Structure 1
Amino acid sequence: MRESDWWRSAVIYQVYIRSFADGDGDGIGDIAGLRSRLDHLADLGVDALWINPWYPSPLADAGYDVADYRAIEPRFGTLSDAEALVREAHERGMRVILDIVPNHTSSQHAWFQEALAAGPGSAARERYLFRDEPNDWKAMFGGSAWTQVPDGQWYLHLFDVEQPDLNWEDPEVRADFEQTLRFWFDRGVDGFRIDVANSLIKEQGLPDVGEKGHHDPGPHPHWDRDEVHEIYQDWRRIADSYDPPKVFVAEAWVPEADRFARYLRADELHTAFNFDFLKAPWRAPALRESVERTLREHAVVGAPATWVLSNHDVARHVSRLARDPGADIGTSLDSLLGVPADLELGLRRARAAALLILALPGGAYVYQGDELGLPEVEDLPEAALDDPTWRRSGHTERGRDGCRVPIPWSGDSAPFGFGPGEGQPWLPQPDWFVRFAAEREDKDPDSMLNLYRTALRIRRAEPALGDGPLTWLDVSPGALGFVRDPGFALLLNIDAEPFDLPEGAEVVLTSAPLTDAGELPRDTAAWIRV
């Protein structure tokens, strides 16, 4: 594989910067903290970092309300700090991917402030979606997607009221984002993750949506419009003009496989997050069906699949896997509350799931704390909740803060080495985080951290892993098995009776010990050579 095709097999680590590491002791993660922990990521063995938005922002939605796309939020550091981070990551063999938020800006963005001052009919308002009357569209965080301004017009915000949607029919909007891409590419950044990549274009006339849900199949007035692909074709030309070429990762919640694949055509985006797999229950048939569907839809356009278990928008998978897979749960914390959980079982399944995603064809994402086995913090005090979902739902949905609690590095009590001194982080860490501190896991050869390190080291050295084909094995019901050529296989026992490994198989790595009889027990994965 060419060096420029690194993204086809990459393991990318997601840095939620507010909660990764705090360099100055103010309780908020920052670039200085991230720089101080780069060796942790290099030792882990990841190929790249994806950093959630670090731009100037009021942080109404965790930085996804951007006030200036070509600067750094002062609480996180400076532009020179960012440039140093990119350089130091590259020195350690890791690439850097930033988040870009093209659907909306912050209401504090200079453009929106100018639009408010300029009034109806102005060129400044053309950059956004102002109308004299609202339609029936609903915001993703609850309530109407429209807010009225003092002069009587209404502006669209598909997310929070402080996130006005941009008008991508306006040439100035398109030109400005292309300038932003070049600004960061010229500073060594290797690519972008595109927030809600399927939402930029809205149907002409902004018709009512009626009863159609946000992610229901079929035509929708503000999701997955055909015209959005022209934007990404323009962006791809910019990315390909660099040597080596830059890369794009799409966040695109598109339910139809054929339409999802269109974002990954050779002249558009490189990869996209695989939410179908993330949502699959811990059942062998469901997991296999998701893998087969993913590989099939990506093969049509020659794109590699990506595999992800957790991110900053869903409850951590340790806690999801701690529930009965037959229970009626989703990916949000609110769907888990009240459902009995077995944390030790969740950790055992999470270890097996890690070996599964790292053996599948394509690339994988590791959300910060996955490598420590962090569960969701399900009982944050209500006074600490920061997610706009909590506010917009009238304090009925707790939102996403439980997966965003600052991660523990060392020590026996908060702040667990998150920052210097005893200053507490922006979200409170529970006492039980002590078990998952990186320093403690580093010393335990059987820890989740050392499982990830070993698996990533093997993956990097193993020619069968990464991009390429997969051949399914005939295994017991309740299990999964596949071969990656040359001569490497994964076996995963989910809920079958313990079974023997193939005769003559060499065990490379297991997520938990085999039985005394050498069989693969439930909720256990094995990497073998065959």
Structure 2
Amino acid sequence: MCGEAYVLPLSFMALWVRPDEFHQTFNFRYLDSEWKPEILFRSINESFEAFDSVGAPSTWVLSNHDIIRHASRMGGVTGRPTASDGIGPNDPQPDRELGLRRARGATLFTLGLPGSTYLYQGEELGLPEHTTLEGKYRQDPTFARTGGARVGRDGCRVPLPWEAGVGAANGFNESGLAWLPQPELYAEYSRDQQEGVTGSTLELYKQALALRKTLRIGEGSFAWLPQFTNERALGYRNGDVLVIHNFGTDALPLPRGKILVASQSGLVEGQLLDPDQTVWIAI
């Protein structure tokens, strides 16, 4: 049983997951880190300190049904994710390429952490937010209650694309109809366009999740890597795996070791890690 409770500080939230309480609770502190190294560093430390104190696993999450999808959020949307009003057609539009690159790196960094990771439907496809949804389709009460001043959460609740071009909903169902229409660009994110395609976001998720299970990452350990803990990078060790993310603007030299998985397509040992990318290295 998992509590969807926005309770801070985490030392207070940890009281909800004592042995006779909930099994887990969502970690909104981590979700609200805005993907900045200094905030992430503090939130990860706070998470382990709080949940370890009651013998509960920490949880990690980047997207859910109430906030802008992180593939769009990381493409230029600023501010605390849980305080967002959503993105509408008249708002500045996120950079899709930048957002997806950062989202892939963020996911791989997160999946390397010990504890439990929660994935939101569609992020395995790299789905962006539906940011151009017309008002006539919106169903979130937030939109109606504020007269459209806040567009709300419908943009992250659009049905998933399965087969490109199969009906208006890209194979989501046989009728082609859905409670929220997909944007045209969702066709290129469809499962059938990514399955088995080297370097696709779907295959990255499948590879990382398989490794996480095989290497028992969720049951592992955690220690920061001092040489990769600064404004340019964050890195940690989980068992015999190094996880390193490049927050800088220049490519990052990496320690020796076998590359297990990387958000940077085609990365091999001896190469540099590009900005916004994450790698797992076996030592």
Q: TM-score, normalising length from structure 2? A: 0.92
Residues 443 and 467 (structure 1), Cα distance of their counterparts in 2 relative to 1, 3 Å cut: closer
Q: Distance in 1 between matches of 2:142 and 2:93?
A: 24
Paired residue for 2:279?
526
Paired residue for 1:60?
none
Alignment of 1:509 onto 2:261:
yes
Task: State the Cα deviation string for residues 308-359 of structure 1 (Å, max 9, x = none).
Answer: 11111111011110016xx445346535563452110110111111111111
Paired residue for 1:260?
13
Q: CA deviation at 1:393?
A: 1.9
1:352-363 pair list within 5 angstroms: 352-363=105-116
Q: CA deviation at 1:388?
A: 1.1
Alignment of 1:334 onto 2:85:
yes
* Matched pairs, number: 277
Q: Report the residue type matching 2:85 in the other structure.
A: D
Q: What percentage of aligned pairs have identical amino acids? A: 38
Q: Distance in 2 between matches of 1:428 and 1:323?
A: 24
Paired residue for 2:224?
472
Paired residue for 2:174?
420
1:59-458 pair list within 5 angstroms: 248-323=1-76, 327-328=78-79, 330-331=81-82, 334=85, 338-339=91-92, 341-412=94-165, 414-421=168-175, 423-458=176-211
Residues 457 and 516 (structure 1), Cα distance of their counterparts in 2 relative to 1, 3 Å cut: closer
Q: CA deviation at 1:398?
A: 1.1
Residues 458 and 515 (structure 1), Cα distance of their counterparts in 2 relative to 1, 3 Å cut: closer
Residues 396 and 253 (structure 1), Cα distance of their counterparts in 2 relative to 1, 3 Å cut: same
Q: CA deviation at 1:511?
A: 0.3
Q: CA deviation at 1:414?
A: 1.6
Q: Distance in 2 between matches of 1:332 and 1:260?
A: 19
Residues 336 and 348 (structure 1), Cα distance of their counterparts in 2 relative to 1, 3 Å cut: same
Q: TM-score, normalising length from structure 1? A: 0.50
Q: Report the residue type matching 1:482 in the other structure.
A: Y
Aligned residues of 2:67 and 2:86 also touching (Cα < 8 A):
no
SS for the counterpart of 1:402 is helix
Query: Greater CA radius of gyration, 1 or 2?
Result: 1
Residues 436 and 384 (structure 1), Cα distance of their counterparts in 2 relative to 1, 3 Å cut: same
Q: Distance in 2 between matches of 1:442 and 1:334?
A: 33
Task: State the Cα deviation string for residues 85-132 of structure 1 (Å, max 9, x = none).
Answer: xxxxxxxxxxxxxxxxxxxxxxxxxxxxxxxxxxxxxxxxxxxxxxxx
Structure 2's unaligned 5+ residue stretches are none
Q: Distance in 2 between matches of 1:408 and 1:258?
A: 40
Q: Report the residue type matching 2:182 in the other structure.
A: Q
SS for the counterpart of 2:132 is coil
SS for the counterpart of 1:480 is strand
SS for the counterpart of 1:364 is strand
Which of 209, 217, 237 is residue 483 of structure 1 equivalent to? 237
Q: Distance in 1 between matches of 2:244 and 2:203?
A: 20
Q: Distance in 2 between matches of 1:399 and 1:332?
A: 11
Q: Distance in 2 between matches of 1:340 and 1:445?
A: 28
Q: Distance in 2 between matches of 1:488 and 1:389?
A: 44
Q: Distance in 2 between matches of 1:517 and 1:499?
A: 11
Q: CA deviation at 1:426?
A: 1.2
Q: Which runs of 4+ in 1 moved over 4 A?
A: none
Q: Distance in 2 between matches of 1:283 and 1:258?
A: 22
Aligned residues of 2:259 and 2:268 also touching (Cα < 8 A):
no
Q: Distance in 1 between matches of 2:159 and 2:170?
A: 9
Structure 1's unaligned 5+ residue stretches are 1-247
Task: State the Cα deviation string for residues 393-420 of structure 1 (Å, max 9, x = none).
Answer: 2332111100001110002252200111
Aligned residues of 2:254 and 2:270 also touching (Cα < 8 A):
no
Q: CA deviation at 1:488?
A: 1.0
Q: Distance in 2 between matches of 1:511 and 1:253?
A: 30
Q: Report the residue type matching 1:334 in the other structure.
A: D
Q: Distance in 2 between matches of 1:287 and 1:276?
A: 9
Task: State the Cα deviation string for residues 22-41 of structure 1 (Å, max 9, x = none).
Answer: xxxxxxxxxxxxxxxxxxxx
